[in-house]
Structure 1
């Protein structure tokens, strides 16, 4: 995992105000997640706990968050101290952690594209499977598996620059820059196709994998004119995918 989020933790928080994240990513993710009341949830790559807290507020319990970055976990624990929700956090590398429990749901927002090799991707998906109860679900946000040059061009409308470091094949490094109020946040991840995801999910033992079309909330459609959303609606750079053990 090339990006050290300890170094960019404060700046990364500013990306939460991007309209794409607020009105499409979150909306589509929670549409796919559905009702989690009284369900146990493990949030992988939880970062500062943004989604972890949101899932807990929707009635999930117990809820645990795991992230590779100690600084991100520090911020998540600070938020928990300021507003106790009963969430537990720990530092951990998903690709190597194995089982930490048996959960009804695993969530993972921007985890899988940090796998640099298919072996590492398989390790992450195996870990997800190992932490699910039989019949349990995983719901994730990841990079667009059908990424094209048109997708790259469309994101510039939203102050996001995506630069593949080679042909758009499995595992290619992608440098992303998101412009925020105080400058820019830069990080590196990797591109994976639907075929690669299908292989690793099948190998892990998942029974089904479903890709959800990106949607925009009614609030987002009301706040911004149709021409604002048009490039994104045609060429979204992110995707929501769910699987069932």
Structure 2
């Protein structure tokens, strides 16, 4: 059964209060590096997997994308996306990534932000994405970094009786699979996989790897949110840009 926490009213309300939900791409710590990986979008067809509020979809249109499709498993996410969107060039589809149905070679660019660590089979997703892309097309995605997802307790080890982080623990890194963890005061299921698994499954599907980025927070973000300085102590995100060149 595919996970859909975001249609739970309590969970969705908590998500809506997050900085990235209120501030969009500018409030997403990984966005500056993700943006650098994006190719020219003028006249291109774009697919956004796990589109959420549609921030990336609307950005693609500002960059000249001819058509954009955003898919998400959550009806509540897509309701919000539609509220924020006034553009006939963007279409939102209610679907799990695993169940999406489009013709092969339909898209020039496929992107995904922080969705694949919720999917059990990245291998199958890579093959599907590869088939949906046209020749010489681009796949760019972000996930929570494997160092972040390795433990069920995805949090810092703190100094006793303090909110000051002492260190970030890594454990069970080589044991891939399901992690039950707490997010927004609810239990969510994520799927941990190693960095090499992400890369090798892309290669197995036929992709050429162009960039691998482990971004830290910008100085501007640290100035706005001082505690973000701790994000330089371990990677939270992994960004990969790959290319279909058959």
Do the two structures share a fold, i.e. TM-score over 0.5? Answer: yes
Candidates 175, 178, 193, aligned match of 1:172: 178
Q: Cα offset for 1:43?
A: 0.4
Is 1:212 aligned to 2:213, yes or no? yes
> Which residue matches 2:199?
198
CA contact under 8 A between 1:174 and 1:191: conserved in structure 2?
no
Is 1:32 aligned to 2:37, yes or no? yes
Q: Which runs of 5+ in 1 are unaligned?
A: 179-183
Is 1:135 aligned to 2:139, yes or no? no
TM-score scaled by structure 2?
A: 0.78
CA RMSD, aligned part only?
A: 3.4
TM-score scaled by structure 1?
A: 0.78
> Which residue matches 2:233?
234
Residues 158, 87 of structure 1: alpha-carbon distance in 2 compared, 3 angstrom cutoff: farther
Residues 230, 79 of structure 1: alpha-carbon distance in 2 compared, 3 angstrom cutoff: closer
SS at match of 1:55: helix
How many angstroms apart in 1 are the aligned matches of 2:180 and 2:61? Answer: 32
> For residues 44-83 of structure 1, what are the alpha-carbon distances to aligned partners after superposition, in whole Å with 9 as ceiling and x for unaligned?
1111212222222233221110111222222222222xx3
SS at match of 1:2: coil
CA contact under 8 A between 2:142 and 2:237: conserved in structure 1?
yes
Q: Which has the higher contact order (CA 8 A, sep 6+)?
A: 1
Residues 93, 208 of structure 1: alpha-carbon distance in 2 compared, 3 angstrom cutoff: same
> For residues 193-242 of structure 1, what are the alpha-carbon distances to aligned partners after superposition, in whole Å with 9 as ceiling and x for unaligned?
112212321221112253113043453244355xx343201212222111
Q: Cα offset for 1:186?
A: 5.1
How many angstroms apart in 2 are the aligned matches of 1:238 and 1:158? Answer: 21
SS at match of 2:146: coil
How many angstroms apart in 2 are the aligned matches of 1:175 and 1:71? Answer: 22
Greater helix proportion: 1
Is 1:114 aligned to 2:118, yes or no? yes
Q: Cα offset for 1:109?
A: 0.7
Q: Cα offset for 1:24?
A: 2.1
Matches within 5 A, 1:1-245: 1-7=2-8, 8-17=11-20, 22=27, 24-80=29-85, 83-84=86-87, 86-100=89-103, 102-116=106-120, 120-147=121-148, 152-153=155-156, 167-168=172-173, 169-178=175-184, 184=185, 187-208=188-209, 210-225=211-226, 228-245=227-244
How many angstroms apart in 2 are the aligned matches of 1:106 and 1:202? Answer: 16
CA contact under 8 A between 1:210 and 1:242: conserved in structure 2?
yes
CA contact under 8 A between 1:129 and 1:205: conserved in structure 2?
yes
How many equivalent residue pairs? 230
Q: Cα offset for 1:157?
A: 7.0
